[in-house]
């Protein structure tokens, strides 16, 4: 058995258990956050557009409305009728930021993701309801045609 000399510093080993716990907690956090970020996106076949550009810096607070083939309008996976949509948009416009150039308008952005087989009247209805409450920042989701690079 080795004897320690007087005045020699004692060797200590760091305990890595807390660090490993923190790494696992961070891993779980990022997996859950990623899942929640994708929860607003329904599985849809988006229309193609020649002028489609990638969504580089989306507004993190924008609302995402999905319209499936049957014309069902969904917000955060919850189906809504026209009255519920209007009430929700009205509330969002009221509590959201104001447009800096015109205080009567809402600064809230809305992304409309419509399935290629959905009738346009459902998309039009969403646009009309947004206009009624003063939301004017509307985005339509589309994909670039295959074989093109943007």
Residue indicated by tokens 């309801």 = 129
pLDDT tier for residue 66 given thresholds of 50, 70 and 90:
very high
CB under 8 A, 24+ apart: contacts of 94-100: 96/61, 99/136
Q: How many domains, in total, are found in the chain?
A: 1
Query: Would you give the DSSP letter of residue 52?
Result: -
How many other C-beta atoms can be found within 10 angstroms of the C-beta atom of residue 132? 12
pLDDT digits (tens, 9 = 90+) for 111-139: 999 999 999 999 999 999 999 999 999 99
- pLDDT surpasses 80 at 39: no
Torsion of CA 109, 115, 118, 119, to 10 degrees: 50
- Residue 144: predicted pLDDT: 83
The domain that contains 109 carries what CATH number? 3.30.420
pLDDT digits (tens, 9 = 90+) for 78-102: 899 999 999 999 999 998 888 888 8
- Residue 82: predicted pLDDT: 94
- Residue 149: predicted pLDDT: 54
In-domain check, residue 128: yes
Residue scoring higher pLDDT (9 or 102): 102
| Mean local confidence (pLDDT), 13-24 | 87
pLDDT tier for residue 61 given thresholds of 50, 70 and 90:
confident
Domain that holds residue 90: 63-140
* Partners of 106 in the β-ladder: 98, 135
- Return the SS3 of 53: coil
In-domain check, residue 79: yes
In-domain check, residue 108: yes
C-alpha 63/C-alpha 102 separation (Å) is 20
The answer to whether 118 and 112 are in contact (CB under 8 A) is no
Structural tokens at position 43: 């599985």
- Residue 134: predicted pLDDT: 92
CA angle centred on 103, ends 101 and 106, rounded to 5°:
95
Task: Give pTM, 2 decimals.
Answer: 0.69
């Amino acid at each position: 058995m080795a004897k320690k000399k007087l005045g020699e510093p004692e060797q200590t080993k760091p305990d890595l258990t807390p660090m490993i716990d923190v790494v696992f907690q961070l891993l779980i956090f990022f997996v859950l956050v990623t899942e929640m970020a994708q929860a607003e996106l329904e599985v849809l076949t988006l229309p193609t557009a020649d002028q489609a550009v990638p969504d580089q810096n989306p507004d993190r607070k924008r609302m995402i409305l999905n319209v499936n083939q049957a014309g069902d309008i969904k917000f955060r996976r919850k189906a809504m009728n026209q009255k519920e949509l209007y009430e929700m948009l009205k509330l969002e416009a009221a509590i959201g930021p104001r447009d800096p150039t015109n205080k009567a308008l809402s600064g809230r952005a809305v992304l409309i993701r419509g399935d290629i087989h959905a009738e346009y009247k459902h998309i039009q209805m969403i646009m009309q309801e947004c206009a009624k409450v003063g939301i004017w920042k509307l985005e339509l989701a589309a994909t670039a045609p295959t074989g093109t690079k943007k």
